């Protein structure tokens, strides 16, 4: 697929509009999903995703192919998303990245104690859960949303996250830890799911 991307990039660089169009169609939803995860607002995410492709088109001549096209594309999407959030947000107390003992206290246990099955009748439940997850994600600070989205949606490694976000690997790990903890706490609050130690235990088979 990567070779396929590069072939389209080459054609787009040569001025073939349909090749660039194909690249947009190929990545539009995932770029939008990354932007939505970071900026929260669907319309702003739409604008960020569009701006991403406009910038990519503008920079095609400079794309050397040292990294995968998708890596380059999502790097631009990430930076534009973060910029968009920072422009909009009011000054707020920053959360620390270090992990303290108090952070290890329980919170969020029992979430999804019933594993999500593959029964199609659970689709409605999953859709509803998806909305709750999005709402919960929206409550996280920008840096926690961003790292969680990049880790889960783009599948970036610790090293790649460090490079993308300009932080140390240790900070990546602790920031991810906080992001996950906050996500679980927010899910519990938004989904109205209560802890259930017994059910929790049953799942550990």
Partner 1 sequence: MTRRSFILAAAAAVLFSAVPIAARADVPVHVRVIKGSRRGPKQVDPRLDALRRQLSALAYVNWQETQERRVTLVKGRTEFVQLPDGDMAGITLQEERGTIATIEVALASRNTQSRLTIEKGQRIVHQVTGERDGAAFFLTIAVWP
Partner 2 sequence: MTKKDCVRFAPMIGAREGELSEVEARALAAHLAMCRRCQELAARFARTDGLVAEALLARANARDFAPFVDQVMDRIGTGAPQGARSGRGLLGWVGRHWKGTLSVTAPALAALAVFMYVHFGGPGQVASLEISSQGVSTVLQTSDGPVVLLPPEEHPS
Which residues of this chain interact with partner 1, rule CB under 8 A? 1, 18, 21-22, 25-26, 29-30, 33, 118-120, 122-123, 126, 152-153, 155
Q: How far is the CB of 142 from partner 2 (least distance, A)?
A: 15
Size of the site for partner 2 (CB under 8 A): 71
Asked if 164 is part of the footprint of partner 2 (rule: CB under 8 A), the reply reads: no
Asked if 46 is part of the footprint of partner 2 (rule: CB under 8 A), the reply reads: yes
Asked if 75 is part of the footprint of partner 2 (rule: CB under 8 A), the reply reads: no
Q: Which is nearer to partner 1, 96 or 116 (CB)?
A: 116
Q: Using the rule CB under 8 A, which residue among 5, 6, 28, 196 binds partner 2?
A: 28
Q: How far is the CB of 67 from partner 1 (least distance, A)?
A: 18
Contacts for 92-95: CB closer than 8 Å, 24+ residues apart: 92/141, 94/141, 94/143, 95/141, 95/143, 95/144, 95/178
Tokens of 184: 């679980």
Contact (CB, 8 A) for 152 and 44: no
Q: Residues 153, 158, 163, 166: what is their CA dihedral angle, to the nearest 10 degrees?
A: 100
Q: How far is the CB of 171 from partner 1 (least distance, A)?
A: 20
- Binds 53, which of partner 2, partner 1, none (CB < 5 to 8 A, cut-off by type)? partner 2
Site residues (CB under 8 A) for partner 2, limited to 96-155? 99-101, 103-104, 108-109, 111-112, 115, 120-121, 123-124, 127, 129-131, 133-134, 137, 148-149, 152-153
Nearest Cα neighbor of 39 from 10, 96, 81 is 81
């Amino acid at each position: 697929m990567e070779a396929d991307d590069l072939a389209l990039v080459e054609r787009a660089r040569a001025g073939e509009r349909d090749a660039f169009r194909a690249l947009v169609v190929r990545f539009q939803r995932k770029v939008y999903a990354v932007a939505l995860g970071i900026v929260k607002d669907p319309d702003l995410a739409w604008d960020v995703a569009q701006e991403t492709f406009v910038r990519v088109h503008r920079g095609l001549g400079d794309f050397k192919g040292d990294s995968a096209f998708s890596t380059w594309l999502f790097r631009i999407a990430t930076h534009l998303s973060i910029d968009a959030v920072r422009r909009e947000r009011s000054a707020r107390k920053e959360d620390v990245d270090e992990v303290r003992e108090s952070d290890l206290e329980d919170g969020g246990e029992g979430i999804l104690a019933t594993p999500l099955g593959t029964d199609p009748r659970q689709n409605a439940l999953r859709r509803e859960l998806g909305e709750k997850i999005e709402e919960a994600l929206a409550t996280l600070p920008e840096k926690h949303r961003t790292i969680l989205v990049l880790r889960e949606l783009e599948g970036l490694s610790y090293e790649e996250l460090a490079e993308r976000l300009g932080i140390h690997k240790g900070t990546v790990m602790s920031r991810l830890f906080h992001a996950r903890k906050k996500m679980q706490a927010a899910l519990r609050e938004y989904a109205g799911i209560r802890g259930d130690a017994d059910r929790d235990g049953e799942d550990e088979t």
